[in-house]
Amino acid sequence: EALKYLIGRGFGESILKQFSIGFAADEWEGLLKQLDLSRFSPNILEKSGLFIRKDGNNFYDRFRNRIMFPIKNVAGRVIAFGGRTMNPEESAKYINSPETPIYFKSGIFYGLSASKESIRKSNEAIVLEGYTDFLRLYSSGITNVITVSGTALTYHHAHILKRFASKVALCYDGDEAGKKATERAGFILLREGLDVRAIILPEGEDPDSFLKNSDISAFKKIYEEASEFIPFYINLHKDSMTTPASKTLFIEQTVEELAQIRNPVTRDFIIKEVSERLGVKEELISSQIRYYYRKKGTQKRTLPQSKEQVKNTIKLNTAAEKAEYELLKLLLSQHKELQEVIVNNIKKKDFKHPVLSKLAKRIIDLMKSEEEFVPSDIFDNELSEKEKLYLSRLILESEPMQNETDLKDLFNLAADCIIVLTTVEIDKDIHELREKIKDAEKKKKETDDIIIELSKKQNRRREIEKKIKETVCSVNSS
């Protein structure tokens, strides 16, 4: 019945098979009965997100009588599900897996594992709202598409997108709610430094229905003609700007959004565009942004924290802890050779900081288990608020790879940090031997044996340093 329904809506069996579209039977314990319950504790059943606890240790299926859309991480592993009802009278058209230890909604795009290469090649991602929207476009040959999964687009989504492309086209429903969602998402993407366009569908249409009622050339035409985000945003509100007071209110709302764009160059370009389209002087908008900062207290409360402010938030007391922090930033920089050389030359046990050590274990384990790792994979419900703070700051500060000079510097930094962590113990020994020499000299005792031991330790440290430098830095020069 579900297959017949989907084929009736114009989805071919090949696309349904490619994305493993399935069906959850209309039974309370349909999936539960398929499990060997002796292998799974009640806690695991609940954490999976597939079952709902009824009472005590009794459960029932979360998904019933629904078309099932497996949600995969970027490496293609199933981590959650979305379910579309088969019953038109059902109040909830879609339900999704709750967040679990492996499913962090704000860091997952439906379809990214299949479309990532197409997105990279075109340098643009088309962001959609629904699973069937994705299937419709993908099966029509437009494959640089992804869908937000069970949530509105977030900063973490924007950060992930930036790894794959510099441009984003938002294609949400053509109704009022879809336009408002486009507005919210557009400003989030601008804050991350992405170029944003808005694909404008006819009123009442979504990408799925539009393509069912038109051909692919019609969609390609509106895609090519997609509006830059700021003109779309201003046009969306033009009917409400009928008086000086309403125009002033709109500018104040716009100022709040512009104030949160980190890159001052991007912000200035947008200020100029808003100025020209609204007939308001640039300096007036800029002064309103400065006033907004003052009103909020300081700029740091409206903009992401600077590196210096992060240092004040995150306590790193020793050279080793600072090296741990820098290495994690480098691991999150998404340069594969750099990631590999760090993982191959450091051990998880080398990380001692109580928070950074836990994050290091997660990051390294994920890198070893996933074909393609993205930072959002680390987020889950088991992270404490403090760990999430550290991770968010690390992601924010992870170095962009702009050119070969930057890359060379990053490999050198990686080598220096690895040296710091791998020589902690030998540095302690060297320090103790120097103290012994000082103490012996004060007491006028022989120091020859201690000096010989110190020399051996120092030579050993130099060997370690030389080997790490050669191993790490040679990767970038080869």
Residue-wise pLDDT for 165-212, tens only, equals: 999 999 999 999 999 999 999 999 998 889 999 999 999 899 999 998
C-alpha–C-alpha distance, residues 344 and 468, integer Å:
11
**pLDDT tens-place string over residues 354-390:** 999 999 998 888 887 765 666 666 766 577 878 888 8
Q: Report pLDDT for 57.
A: 85
Q: Which residue has the tokens 């924290």?
A: 305
Burial of 364 (0-12, 13-18, 19+ CB in 10 A): buried
C-alpha–C-alpha distance, residues 146 and 119, integer Å:
9
Rg of the chain on CA atoms, in Å = 27
Beta strand 78-85 with 145-148: parallel, antiparallel or unpaired?
A: unpaired
> 10 Å Cβ neighbour count for 312?
9
228 forms beta bridges with: 197
Residues 6+ apart with CB under 8 A from 29: 60, 61
What percent of the chain has pLDDT above 90?
A: 53
Q: Report pLDDT for 316.
A: 81
Please give the average per-residue pLDDT across 147-167, as a whole number.
Answer: 88
Identify each DSSP E strand in 173-309 by its residue range: 195-198, 227-228
| Confidence tier at 291 by pLDDT (50, 70, 90) | confident
| Confidence tier at 266 by pLDDT (50, 70, 90) | confident
Q: Report pLDDT for 39.
A: 87
Q: Is the pLDDT of residue 308 over 60?
A: no
C-alpha–C-alpha distance, residues 348 and 79, integer Å:
25
Helix, strand or coil, per DSSP, at residue 329 = helix
Which structural domains are found in the chain, ordered by start?
Answer: 2-104 (3.90.980.10), 109-233 (3.40.1360.10), 241-301 (no CATH), 315-478 (1.10.860)
C-alpha–C-alpha distance, residues 26 and 191, integer Å:
44
Q: Is the pLDDT of residue 303 over 70?
A: no
Helix, strand or coil, per DSSP, at residue 73 = coil
Q: Report pLDDT for 304.
A: 42
Q: Which residue has the tokens 């001052």?
A: 264
Q: Which residue has the tokens 């090649």?
A: 121
Q: Report pLDDT for 376.
A: 64
DSSP 8-state code for residue 83: E
Q: Report pLDDT for 302.
A: 37
Identify each DSSP E strand in 149-303 by its residue range: 167-170, 195-198, 227-228
Tell me the C-alpha to C-alpha distance, in Å, between residue 332 and each of 77, 85, 133, 164, 303. 20, 38, 31, 14, 21
C-alpha–C-alpha distance, residues 93 and 80, integer Å:
17
CB 188 within 8 A of CB 158: yes
User: Quick one: tokens of 465?
Assistant: 């340093």
Q: Report pLDDT for 395.
A: 76
C-alpha–C-alpha distance, residues 451 and 433, integer Å:
8
Q: How big is the CA angle at 385 (ends 410 and 359), to the nearest 5 degrees?
A: 35
Q: What mean pLDDT, rounded, does the chain reach? A: 87
Which one, of 234, 251, 153, 246, lies nearest residue 194 by Cα? 153
Helix (H) or strand (E) holding 313: helix 307-313
> 10 Å Cβ neighbour count for 184?
14
> 10 Å Cβ neighbour count for 313?
10
C-alpha–C-alpha distance, residues 54 and 200, integer Å:
44
**pLDDT tens-place string over residues 107-152:** 899 999 999 999 999 999 999 999 999 999 999 999 999 999 878 8
The 3-class secondary structure across 4-60, one letter per residue, is HHHHHCCCCHHHHHHCCCEEECCCCCCCHHHCCHHHCCHHHHHHHCCEEEEECCEEE
Least reliable range by pLDDT among 123-127, 138-142, 218-222, 435-439:
435-439
Beta strand 66-72 with 78-85: parallel, antiparallel or unpaired?
A: antiparallel
